[in-house]
Structure 1
Amino acid sequence: MSDSNINRITRLKRDANAEISCEDNLKFMRRLPDESMNLIVTSPPYNIGKPYEKRTSQDKYLEDQSACIAEAVRLLAHNGSICWQVGNHVDNGQIFPLDIILYPLFRNHGLQLRNRIVWTFGHGLHCQRRFSGRHETILWLTKSDDYTFNLDPIRVPSKYPNKKHFKGPNKGELSSNPLGKNPSDVWDIPNVKSNHVEKTDHPCQFPIGLVERLVLALTNEGESVLDPYLGVGSSAIAALKHNRNAYGCDLNKDYIDIAWERIHQLRAGTLRTRPMNKPVYDPEAK
C-alpha cells in the first residue's frame, strides 16, 4: 500500500469495549439499564461561559444537573461510586463552590459522601482581586456501605519506606506497607495546559492520571465506567487502559471525534499519557 493510501485510511468509530456517542446525555443515559454502571465519573460544565457550554441562570443550571444526577443514580450499581469533579461558578467577582451547591442533590437520592477529594495543580489564571484558584474538588459518593475500594493499585511511594518499628513485638520490622501509602484526599496532579503531553483542543480536559486513580480504586476489571460529559474522552481512555468498559457522550462532535482518535491511538500503543503517579516537576529539586 502506498503512503498516499495509508494517509487516507479512516478508522471506524467503534471499539468492542466502548460505547461513545455525540448526543444529549439524558438521551444517552436513558438507553442504559438500571444499575449497569460501576463508576460514573465526570466533570460537568461550571456555567461560566466556556466554549462548550451556554451560560444560564443558576436555577436552570441546577435543574439540568439535577436531571443528570437522577439518571446517574438510576444507573449506578449497588456497590458502585459516583465521582463528580467540579470547581467554582464565578459571577461578578464572587465565587460559588459547585461541590457545596450540588451536594444536596446527591443527598436527596440517599447517596453517601465518602471523600471530598481536593485536586490541586500549579498552573491557571492569575487573579487580581482574590487569591488565584489552584484547586478543584471531587465528590466521591456511594449508593451503599457495600462499595468497591481497592487501595493497593493506587498506593504512592512512602515518604520513609525503610522506617521500622522501634519497639514492641514487631521491633526491627518494616512499619510501612511495602506497596506504598494511601494517596490521601489531596491529589497534586498537573492540569492539562499547553505543554502537557495529553493536550488537545479542549480547554479544560481531564488529566488521564486523575481518572485512572478513581477507575483502579473504585472498579474491578471487566466493569463499566460512564462519563456523561465526556469531552475528549479522558475518562474512556482511563477505563479502557485498565480493561474496563467505557461509556460516554458529549454534545460537541469535534470532541467526540478527538475521543475516538485517542482511543484508536491507545489501541495502537501510540497515545501519549502522563504516568498516573509521576511526581510533579520541581525545578529546584537536586
Structure 2
Amino acid sequence: MIHNNDGFVANEVTHEFIEGDAFAKLDLIADQSCRLVITSPPYNIGKEYERDRRRTLDEYIQWLTPIVEKACDKVTDDGHLCWQVGNYVSNGEVFPLDYFFYEIITRKGFKLRNRIIWHFNFGLHAKKRFSGRYETLLWFSKSDSYFFQLEEVLVPQLYPGKRHAPSKGAKAGMPSGNPKGKNPTDYWTFDPDEVMKSNPIWDLPNVKANHPEKTVHPCQFPSELVERCVLALTEIGDTILDPFVGTGTSVIAAAIHGRRGIGIDQSLPYIKLAEQRLAAFQEGRLVTRPIGKEVRRPKVGERVATIPDEWAPAAE
C-alpha cells in the first residue's frame, strides 16, 4: 500500500510514505533519484517489532545485505548513504554492527567519509560490562565528486581571537580562523557554548521518556541527528529516502528544511503515526527538539541531582 497524501505538502514539496517490505518497495523508487539515503534499521535486539523474527547475527546480516545494496542504487552520483547502527549482543559478547555494514556498502563502491559517534546519557544498562551509551552513524559518499555544504553546519569558533604566528608572512598577526565558524569535524556536541573542544561525539539525548519527540516507538531517531545530515549533504528540493522510516522522523526532517522525503516501513500503525506527525508539523503543532540546543544537565539542589537518604552510609 502506498500512502500518497495530497495534503502532505511542506514548502511546496509532496512527501510520501510507503507501507511494506523494504526490499520489495525499494523497487518503487527510481535508481539515482535520492541525494541522501539515511536510516536506522532494526537492530535485532528483541524490540516489539522484532520479536516474531529474531535472527542470529548471520541471518540478520543476510536479511539486510540485499536491502542495503538496493538502497545504494537509489543514491545520485554525487549523493550519500548514512547508515546508523548500534551493537548486536549475544551471550554477553558485543558485535559492532558498523563493521559488517562497512563491508557491504564499500563493496557497492561507496567510500566512508566519517564514522560519527552519537553519544547519549541514557541507554542500555549492563552489569558485566560497561553500559552502552553510543551508536554509530556511517556516512558514505557514492563518489569522490560528492555534494557537501559545510557552511550549513559550521559551529562557533572556540578561539575566535587566535591569530597567525609571526612566521606566516603576510598573514602574520591576522585572525587565523574562519569568521563564519568552525568545522565541527566528526565529533559534534550539539552545545553551542561547549562545541567541538576536540571532541568528536555528537552529544544529544536519545528519544526517551520526557523527550518532546517521544512516541510509542521504542527506538526512535532524534530529529536533530537527521537534520544535521540533511543540511550538510543535501540542498533544497533534493529527495531524501529512509527505507526503515518508523514514525517518520527522516521525512519530517526533510520537510523542515525544504527537501522531499520518502519513507518505507512494514508497519502500518507506524506509517499512520508518521502521517499524523507530518500533518502536525505542517499545521505547526509538532514539537521537535531544536537543533543545536544544549543538552540539559541537572542543577545542584534539584531532587534528581540530590543523593537519596537511602544511599547515605550507615552510622557506625
Match of 1:224 in 2: 239
Residue 163 of structure 1: how far off its partner (Å): 3.2
Inter-partner Cα distance in structure 2 for 1:256 and 1:247: 11
2-structure distance, mates of 1:283, 1:57 = 40
Determine the C-alpha separation between the residues in 2 that align with 1:271 and 1:162: 40
Change (3 A) 1:283 1:180: farther
The answer to whether the aligner puts 1:181 opposite 2:174 as a matched pair is no
Which is worse superposed, 153-162 or 224-233?
A: 153-162
Distance in 2 (CA, whole Å) between partners of 1:30 and 1:208 is 26
Alignment of 1:21-40 (within 5 A): 21-40=18-37
The equivalent of 1:209 in structure 2 is: 224
Overall identity of the aligned pairs, in %: 47
Residue pair 2:39, 2:242 contacting (<8 A) in 1 also? yes
| Runs of 5+ unmatched residues, structure 1 | 1-11
How far is the alpha carbon of 1:179 from its aligned partner? 2.5
Secondary structure at the residue paired with 2:42? coil
Taking the aligned partners of 1:244 and 1:75, their CA distance within structure 2 comes to 16
1:55 aligns with 2:51: no
Instruction: Give distance in 1, aligned partners of 2:215 and 2:163.
Output: 46
Supply the distance in 1 between the matched residues of 2:212 and 2:60 (Cα, whole angstroms): 33
Q: 1:281 to 1:179 in 2, by over 3 A?
A: farther
One-letter code of the match for 2:15? A
Paired residue for 2:269, among 251, 254, 257?
A: 254
Instruction: Please show how residues 126-137 of structure 1 align to structure 2 within 5 Å.
Output: 126-137=125-136
Distance 2:95 2:154 in 1: 33
Aligned to 2:310: none
Which of 284, 287, 290 aligns to 1:272? It is 287
The 10-residue stretch of structure 1 (116-125 or 236-245) with the greater mean CA deviation from structure 2: 116-125
Match of 1:93 in 2: 92
Cα drift, residue 142 of structure 1: 1.3
1:171-197 deviation per Cα after TM superposition (whole angstroms, max 9, x unaligned): 454322222212221211111110111
Say if 1:13 and 1:260, in contact at 8 Å, map to a contact too: no
* Alpha-carbon separation, structure 2, partners of 1:86 and 1:231: 15
Q: Are residue 238 (structure 1) and residue 264 (structure 2) matched?
A: no
Please list every run of 5 or more consecutive structure 2 residues that lacks an aligned counterpart in the other structure: 188-201, 301-316
Structure 2 contact 35–234 (Cα < 8 Å) conserved: yes
Give the TM-score normalised by the residue count of structure 1.
Answer: 0.91
Q: Tell me the amino acid that sits aligned with residue 16 of structure 2.
A: E
1:148 offset after TM fit, Å?
Answer: 0.7
More off after superposition, 244-253 vs 57-66? 57-66
Contact kept in structure 1, 2:57 and 2:88, CA below 8 Å? no
99-108 vs 276-285, which deviates more? 276-285
Q: What do residues 82-129 of structure 1 show as CA deviations (whole Å, max 9, x unaligned)?
A: 000000011111111000022111121111111111111111132111
Rg larger for = 2
How far apart are the structure 1 equivalents of 2:204 and 2:46? Answer: 25
CA distance in 2, matches of 1:148, 1:198: 29
C-alpha distance in 1 between matches for 2:165 and 2:242: 48
> What amino acid is aligned across from residue 153 of structure 1 in structure 2?
E
Determine if the alignment matches structure 1 residue 18 to structure 2 residue 15.
yes
Deviations, residues 7-36 of structure 1 (Å, cap 9, x unaligned): xxxxx6752421102211122210111101
One-letter amino acid matched to 1:27 = A
Number of positions where the alignment pairs a residue of Structure 1 with one of Structure 2: 274
Task: Give the secondary structure class of the aligned counterpart of 1:217.
Answer: helix
Going from structure 1 to structure 2, the CA distance change for 1:123 and 1:13 (only over 3 Å counts) comes to farther
Amino acid at match of 2:250: S
Aligned partner of 1:60: which letter?
E
What letter corresponds to residue 184 of structure 1 in structure 2? Answer: T
